Amino acid sequence: MIEILIAFAIAALALSATLKLLPVGLSGAARAASYEQAVMLARSKLEALGGMILQVRGDASSEEGPFRWQISTRRYGSGAYSNLYLVPYEVAVNIVWTEGGRQRSYTLRTIRLGPQ
């Protein structure tokens, strides 16, 4: 009889330790899901600017759901490209969101060609 009580006590301790870890795993999964959504949003905003040839230049920003995004386009490098029709631009898409009381962000940068 006492062996059964000891076994139940050990099982209860193991179960309580497991249940204490459950919220940590769930918050990590939620954070990963938000990060994945931010990456997909950044990629879609970058693709909306055009393929390999940049169609839209300048800065833009807005909000979508819990995410705030900002796109900035800047001429890449020095003015050594002044005689070319297509010149390189650095395009950055920054996604910012708040999760668990902390501000998180993801930035996607690339180089695209665009007309002068």
- Written as tens digits, the pLDDT of the chain (116 aa) is 777 777 777 777 776 766 666 565 556 677 788 889 999 999 988 888 776 666 666 788 888 889 999 999 888 877 676 677 888 888 999 999 998 888 999 999 988 888 87
The helices-and-strands tally (H runs, E runs) of the chain is 1, 4
Is the overall model pTM greater than 0.75, yes or no?
A: no
Residue-range domain boundaries for the chain? 2-115
d(CA 29, CA 85): 47
Per-residue pLDDT at 68: 93
